[in-house]
């Protein structure tokens, strides 16, 4: 959800109303003079998010994301690490004993049959490895097994890929979705774990994997659609819910997305919940202090999946707060209950 004109006006109204409160003093922000504000977030994310130089951190792939993989077919050449596959036509040439020459297609079971040695398994072996193996095998029969192995239909995998993508309206590309387990299924490769990795890193990994299957095949990876880039705002706001964010935003902007705060909201005691691995952390943010523009106040940033709770002036304890947020936390799969504060599984960065 973009911060449209309506939400922007709500944000400005929130700012102006707050300035009229008892916590604001007229000289807190000098007239016609800029004042730099500090930025802050949870301590374990402070080094990379937000920071003055890290407002746009490198994106990490998430479950639910849709990736677009574009295939580029360049010159096809066999190399020593080229892998033999089912369907390849293999020519074995003996320089000193040409009567042993043979051309075989790799059968569905991954084997070929050669004179005097019988059935050999070749699928997934590199061209060099199979050549060396064949020399050792024929050394038991021939005094000097000088031979070479060549793949005649090296573009077989390319043909299979083109056939697989023939009906795709996107040409030689494919959209793949990252599953909840972090894996995505790619043509010819199968499952590759991509969640939590940078797109350029996955692109290089895929390039390496495809090069082993089809020399000359390169890919470009793009983020087609992202899922889960939302923050949750609840409590004393006019429109509680989940809101999409396309960039890092402050807690002030997050409340504006929720339509602003209600009259009985306690802005000096806003609580932000963030998950780190298997733990949940909570931090109290004083929005009123920020609005007073005091030099020691920090501009607090939120990140995707954060839960921002704006309590009422009537809420007096952390237990009451947890009763309000437990349902949403459970819905997001966080599986916590109101006793976790006391058990220490939710770590509190500030006293409530």
106-123 confidence digits (pLDDT tens): 998 999 999 888 999 998
CATH superfamily, region 5-59+228-348: Outer membrane lipoprotein wza domain like (3.10.560.10)
Q: Is the pLDDT of residue 195 over 70?
A: yes
Q: What is the mean pLDDT of residues 341-349?
A: 49
DSSP H helices in the chain: 5-19, 127-138, 156-165, 199-213, 251-257, 287-291, 318-331, 340-343
Report pLDDT digits (tens) over 162-188.
666 654 555 578 899 999 899 999 988
Residue with tokens 């494919």: 174
Greater confidence (316 vs 206) lies with: 206
What integer pLDDT is reported at residue 124 of this predicted model? 85
* Weakest mean pLDDT among 102-106, 237-241, 316-320: 316-320
What integer pLDDT is reported at residue 196 of this predicted model? 86
Report pLDDT digits (tens) over 323-333.
656 655 555 55
What integer pLDDT is reported at residue 79 of this predicted model? 60
Query: pLDDT > 70: what percent of the chain?
Result: 65
Do the domains spanning 66-77+155-225 and 89-151 agree at the CATH topology level?
Answer: yes
Q: Are 157 and 213 in contact (CB under 8 A)?
A: yes
Task: For the domain covering 66-77+155-225, report its CATH number.
Answer: 3.30.1950.10
pLDDT band at 258 (very low <50, low <70, confident <90, very high): very high
Euclidean distance between CA atoms 84 and 110, whole angstroms: 9
Euclidean distance between CA atoms 229 and 130, whole angstroms: 48
Two tokens, residue 276: 């780190």
All structural domains of the chain with their residue ranges: 5-59+228-348, 66-77+155-225, 89-151
What integer pLDDT is reported at residue 350 of this predicted model? 52
Q: What is the mean pLDDT of residues 2-17?
A: 42
* Short-list 171, 275, 153, CA closest to 214: 153
Task: For the domain covering 89-151, report its CATH number.
Answer: 3.30.1950.10
Provide the 8-state DSSP code for 263. T
Euclidean distance between CA atoms 305 and 60, whole angstroms: 14
Provide the 8-state DSSP code for 319. H
Read off φ and ψ for residue 191, nearest 5 degrees.
-80, 130
């Amino acid at each position: 959800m973009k911060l449209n004109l309506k939400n922007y006006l709500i944000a400005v109204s929130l700012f102006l109303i707050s300035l009229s409160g008892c916590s604001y003093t007229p000289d807190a922000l000098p007239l016609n003079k800029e004042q730099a504000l500090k930025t802050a977030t949870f301590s374990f994310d402070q080094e990379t998010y937000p920071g003055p130089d890290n407002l746009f951190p490198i994106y990490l792939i998430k479950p639910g994301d849709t990736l677009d993989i574009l295939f580029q077919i360049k010159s096809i050449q066999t190399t020593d690490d080229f892998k033999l596959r089912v369907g390849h036509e293999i020519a074995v040439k003996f320089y000193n004993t040409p009567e042993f020459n043979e051309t075989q297609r790799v059968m569905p079971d991954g084997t070929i049959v050669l004179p005097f040695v019988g059935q050999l398994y070749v699928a997934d072996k590199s061209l060099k490895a199979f050549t060396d193996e064949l020399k050792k095998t024929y050394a038991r029969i021939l005094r000097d097994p000088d031979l070479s192995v060549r793949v005649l239909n090296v573009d077989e995998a390319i043909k299979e890929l083109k056939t697989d993508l023939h009906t795709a309206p996107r040409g030689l590309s494919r959209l793949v979705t990252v599953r909840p387990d972090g894996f995505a299924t790619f043509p010819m490769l199968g499952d590759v774990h991509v969640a939590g990795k940078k797109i350029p890193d996955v692109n290089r990994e895929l390039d390496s994997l495809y090069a082993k299957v089809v020399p000359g095949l390169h890919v470009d990876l793009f983020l087609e659609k992202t899922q889960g880039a939302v923050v949750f705002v609840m409590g004393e706001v006019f429109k509680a819910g989940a809101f999409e964010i396309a960039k890092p935003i402050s807690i002030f902007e997050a409340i504006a997305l929720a339509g602003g705060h209600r009259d009985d909201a306690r802005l000096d005691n806003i609580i932000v919940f963030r998950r780190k691995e298997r733990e949940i952390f909570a931090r109290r943010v004083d929005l009123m202090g920020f609005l007073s523009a005091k030099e020691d106040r920090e501009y607090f940033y939120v990140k995707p999946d954060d839960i921002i709770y704006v309590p009422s002036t009537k809420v007096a304890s952390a237990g009451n707060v947890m009763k309000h947020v437990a349902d949403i936390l459970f819905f997001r799969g966080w599986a916590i209950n109101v006793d976790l504060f006391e058990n220490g599984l939710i770590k509190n960065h500030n006293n409530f």
